[in-house]
Amino acid sequence: MIRTVLAALRQAAAFAIVFMSASLILNAAALFTAPFLAHAAAEEAAPAPNAEAEPAPAAASKPAAAAPTTPPHPLPPPATTLQSVALPGRALRFKAVASAIRLSEAQSGEAQADVATVAYSLEGQDSAKRPVAFVVNGGPGAASAWLNLGALGPWRLDLGKEPVSPSAPAALVGNAETWLDFADLVFIDPPLTGYSRILAKGDGARRQFLSVDGDIEALAVVMRKWLTSNQRLESPKFIVGESYGGFRAPKLARRLQENEGVGIKGIILISPVIDFSWFEAANSPLPVMTQLPSLAAAGRGLKPADAKALDEVEAFASGPYLTDLLRSERDPAALTRIVDGVARLTGLEPAFVRRLGGRVDPSSFAREAGRAEAKIFSRYDMTIAGFDPSPHAADTNFSDPVLDATKTPFASAMANLTATKLGWPVDARYEILNESVSRQWNWDGGRGKNQSLSDLSQALAIDPEFRVLIVHGLTDLVTPYFASKLLIGQIPPFGDPGRVALKIYEGGHMPWLRDGARAALRDDARKLIEGK
Domain span including residue 94: 79-278+427-529
Q: Is 182 in the same domain as 328?
A: no
Q: Is 461 in the same domain as 373?
A: no
CA-to-CA distance for 269 and 182, rounded, in angstroms?
18
Residue range 435-476, pLDDT digits in tens: 999 999 999 888 888 999 999 999 999 999 999 999 999 999
Q: Is 109 in the same domain as 176?
A: yes
Please, which residues have CB within 8 angstroms of residue 23's CB and are 6 or more apart in sequence?
A: none
Q: Is 231 in the same domain as 250?
A: yes
- Coil, strand or helix at 199: coil
Give the range among 52-61, 69-78, 96-105, 132-141 with minimum mean pLDDT.
52-61
Q: Is 291 in the same domain as 258?
A: no
> With 50 as the cut, is the pLDDT of residue 10 above it?
no
Give the range among 25-39, 62-76, 444-458 with minimum mean pLDDT.
25-39
Q: Is 332 in the same domain as 358?
A: yes
Assess if residue 294 is contained within a domain.
Answer: yes
CB-count exposure of residue 485 (10 Å: 0-12, 13-18, 19+): middle
Q: Is 368 in the same domain as 489?
A: no
Q: Half-sphere exposure of 302 toward its Cβ, with a 13 Å CA cutoff? A: 27
Omega before 163 within 30 of 0, i.e. cis: yes
Read out DSSP for 288-340?
HHHHHHHHHHHHHT--TT-HHHHHHHHHHIIIIIHHHHTTGGG-HHHHHHHHH
CA distances to 249, 272, 290, 478 from 453, rounded to whole Å, are 11, 11, 17, 18
Q: Is 158 in the same domain as 241?
A: yes
CA-to-CA distance for 249 and 134, rounded, in angstroms?
10
Q: What is the mean pLDDT of residues 370-397?
A: 84
Number of domains observed in the structure of the chain: 2
Please tell me the pTM assigned to this model.
0.85
> With 60 as the cut, is the pLDDT of residue 37 above it?
no
Q: Is 317 in the same domain as 288?
A: yes
Residue range 160-183, pLDDT digits in tens: 777 777 887 888 999 999 999 999
Assess if residue 418 is contained within a domain.
Answer: no
Residue with the bigger pLDDT between 15 and 336: it is 336
Are the C-beta atoms of residues 384 and 508 closer than 8 Å to each other? yes
Q: Is 253 in the same domain as 284?
A: no
Res. 73 pLDDT band, cuts 50 70 90: low
Residue range 286-329, pLDDT digits in tens: 999 999 999 999 999 999 999 999 999 999 999 999 999 998 77
> With 70 as the cut, is the pLDDT of residue 392 above it?
yes
Q: Is 269 in the same domain as 308?
A: no
Are the C-beta atoms of residues 153 and 87 closer than 8 Å to each other? no
